[in-house]
């Protein structure tokens, strides 16, 4: 399987925040953003592996900045690391000022998708070769996040999380 680059999975989704998608403070409802990120990440993962993909984990989402109704929200997703069948998708969420067009980073999200066949059995995906400094940084830290996610899901014994343990060494 040929190694691919993060840029080949780049997926950009831009949409408005409508009144029905907000909380009582007239800011975007968190679940709405999670759903948009899930769809964007799913397309991104599919572009990397060209297989059926399913969401395995929402690893991290930071709701750092409220997104007011009427905002134009852009989610940019790339595969940050591909393992055997799992892919980590790293997303940056931007909002843009109506008058100046200036973009502000509102949130980040990290999801894990798994490529499967028609029976739902995991299948191998192409490896990925990060190119930019940011891509390399996200690639390097992805194994730690995978191990943490597996521990939280009860699928890995913390004793086996070698990469994670290095953080505390
Ligand atoms: C995700 C799923 C395919 C994993 O299947 P599984 O039988 O656990 O298979 P495996 O244990 O071989 O895991 C497959 C890969 O996913 C990774 N993985 C599984 N659970 C994970 C988690 N919680 N966090 C991070 N990675 C995870 C494994 O480490 C493995 O990675 P690798 O093959 O790259 O090494 C299966 O659990 C599933 O179908 N879940 C439901 C998915 C779904 O319906 N999503 C929508 C929710 S509404």
Ligand 1, CB cutoff 6 Å, lining residues: 54-57, 83-86, 112, 114, 116, 120, 122, 146, 149-150, 153, 155
Is 158 exposed, middle or buried, given 0-12, 13-18 or 19+ CB atoms closer than 10 A? exposed
Residue 19: phi and psi, rounded to 5, are -55, -35
pLDDT in tens, 10-54: 999 999 999 999 999 999 999 999 999 999 999 999 999 999 999
The residue extents of the domains of the chain are 6-130
* CATH architecture of structural domain 6-130: Roll (3.10)
Q: What is the mean pLDDT of residues 112-127?
A: 98
Is the model's pTM score more than 0.85? yes
- Inform me whether the pLDDT recorded for 169 exceeds 90: no
């Amino acid at each position: 399987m040929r190694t691919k680059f993060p840029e080949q999975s780049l997926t950009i989704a831009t949409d408005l925040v409508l009144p029905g998608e907000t909380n009582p403070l007239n800011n975007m409802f968190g679940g709405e953003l999670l759903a948009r990120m899930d769809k964007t990440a799913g397309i991104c993962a599919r572009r990397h592996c060209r297989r059926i993909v399913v969401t395995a984990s929402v690893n991290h989402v930071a709701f750092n900045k409220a997104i007011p109704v009427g905002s134009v929200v852009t989610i940019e997703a790339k595969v940050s690391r591909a393992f055997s069948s799992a892919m980590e998708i790293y997303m940056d969420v931007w909002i843009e000022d109506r008058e100046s067009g200036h973009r502000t980073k509102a949130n980040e999200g990290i999801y894990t998708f798994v490529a499967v066949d028609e029976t739902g059995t995991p299948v191998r995906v192409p490896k990925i070769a990060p190119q930019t400094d940011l891509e390399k940084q996200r690639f390097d830290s992805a194994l730690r996040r995978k191990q943490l996610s597996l521990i939280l899901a009860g699928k890995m014994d913390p004793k086996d999380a070698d990469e994670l343990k290095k953080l505390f060494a």
